[in-house]
């Protein structure tokens, strides 16, 4: 096998790794190494892996407990560990721009952290890429850890004790109607605004589209602070853009990264990616 090669993706975060096959023979040492890269780099890109669902789920389990997809669980009461990103259906047909599901997925085009609206939010998301549009369909990432490091001492002190109310129905209703059973399964919950990685003690702030308000603050004051923190984190120079290729296997740390889709023309192009998530270690309020 070719030697392991590492390449930085952005000055703040991100690592591309070649020379490792993420198959069933992955050693314990390599799994520990991957977990260390997640802690240190937040985004880890493995090109040309071509993992199918079975291998993808097996790899997911090596990083922790798979997180049940909240749509299947909340709406249908079914535990399913995959989400499908894109417009290609299981029978190979395609949903266009006006399809309800395509509109629902445009909620991912707002900056967010996956599952921040769950009491125990995700540790990482893991994407396996099948089909990509010729144009558009990239995903942008920023590091809220790097953003935290750029804050003044005064702002850090202000935000340290705060709790943020994350609310899925608040954010998703901006683009599509949420199924009533799904909505009822995800009541608003409080999250810590400042989080700390337990392995390297680096702090970040935890915001994004699901962050509705600051607990104990007026709606207006909370909105101003949340919008300001998001704007600071997502300036163009802080963004890394992932141009997907079929076969990519990408892991991102939802504890400290924000991401968004850039959109694509679903009438014109096919896009198919499968995603799993790994559960976080507990509620952020207990961190
Ligand atoms: Fe996402």
pLDDT, tens digit, for every residue of 85-99?
Answer: 999 999 999 999 999
Other CB atoms within 10 Å distance of the CB of residue 217:
17
- Give the model's pLDDT for residue 25: 86
Give residue 19 CA to ligand 1 midpoint distance, Å: 27
Q: Of 278, 280, 254, nearest to 61 (Cα)?
A: 278
The answer to whether position 117 is within a domain reads yes
Structural domains of the chain, count: 1
- Which residue range is the domain that position 192 belongs to? 5-281
The answer to whether position 138 is within a domain reads yes
> Could you tell me what percent of the chain has a pLDDT over 90?
97
Give residue 2 CA to ligand 1 midpoint distance, Å: 32
The answer to whether position 287 is within a domain reads no
The answer to whether position 51 is within a domain reads yes
Give residue 162 CA to ligand 1 midpoint distance, Å: 24
Give residue 18 CA to ligand 1 midpoint distance, Å: 24
Give residue 107 CA to ligand 1 midpoint distance, Å: 9
| Residues near 238 by beta carbon (within 8 Å), at least 6 away in sequence | 12, 142, 143, 146, 147
- State how beta strands 43-46 and 249-253 pair: antiparallel
Output the average pLDDT for the chain.
Answer: 97
- pTM value is 0.97
Give residue 151 CA to ligand 1 midpoint distance, Å: 25
**205 within 8 A of 229, measured Cβ to Cβ:** yes
The answer to whether position 198 is within a domain reads yes
In what helix (H) or strand (E) does residue 198 lie, and over which residues does it extend?
Answer: none
Give residue 85 CA to ligand 1 midpoint distance, Å: 9
- Give the model's pLDDT for residue 1: 60
Identify the CATH number of the domain in which residue 271 sits.
3.60.130.10
The answer to whether position 241 is within a domain reads yes
Q: What is the C-alpha separation between 232 and 279, in angstroms, rounded?
A: 28
Residues whose CB is under 5 A from ligand 1 (ion)? 108, 114
pLDDT tens profile 104-141: 899 999 999 999 999 999 999 999 999 999 999 999 99
Give residue 278 CA to ligand 1 midpoint distance, Å: 13
What mean pLDDT do residues 163-184 have? Answer: 95
The answer to whether position 286 is within a domain reads no
**98 within 8 A of 205, measured Cβ to Cβ:** no
Whether pLDDT at 149 is above 70: yes
């Amino acid at each position: 096998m070719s030697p392991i090669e590492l390449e930085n993706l952005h000055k703040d975060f991100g690592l591309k790794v070649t020379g490792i096959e993420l198959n069933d023979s992955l050693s314990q040492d390599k799994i520990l190494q991957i977990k260390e890269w997640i802690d240190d780099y937040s985004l880890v890109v493995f090109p040309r892996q071509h993992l199918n669902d079975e291998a993808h789920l097996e790899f997911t389990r090596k990083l922790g407990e798979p997180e049940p997809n909240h749509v299947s669980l909340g709406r249908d009461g079914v535990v399913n560990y995959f989400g499908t990103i894109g417009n290609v259906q299981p029978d190979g047909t395609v949903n266009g721009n006006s399809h309800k599901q395509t509109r629902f997925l445009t909620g991912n085009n707002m900056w967010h952290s996956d599952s921040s609206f769950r009491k125990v939010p995700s540790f990482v998301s893991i994407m396996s890429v099948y089909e990509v549009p010729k144009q558009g369909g990239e995903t942008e990432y920023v590091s809220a850890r790097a953003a935290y490091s750029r804050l003044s001492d005064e702002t850090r002190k202000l935000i340290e004790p705060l709790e943020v109310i994350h609310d899925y129905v608040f954010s998703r209703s901006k683009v599509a109607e949420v199924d009533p059973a799904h909505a009822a399964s995800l009541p608003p919950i409080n999250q810590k605004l400042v989080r700390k990685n337990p392995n390297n003690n680096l702090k970040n702030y935890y915001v994004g589209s699901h962050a509705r308000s600051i607990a104990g603050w007026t709606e207006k004051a909370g909105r101003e602070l949340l919008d300001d923190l998001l704007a600071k984190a997502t300036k163009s120079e802080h963004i890394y853009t992932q141009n997907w290729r079929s076969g990519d296997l990408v892991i991102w740390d939802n504890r400290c990264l924000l991401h968004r889709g850039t959109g694509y023309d679903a009438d014109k192009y096919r896009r198919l990616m499968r995603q799993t998530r790994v559960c976080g270690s507990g509620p952020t309020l207990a961190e």
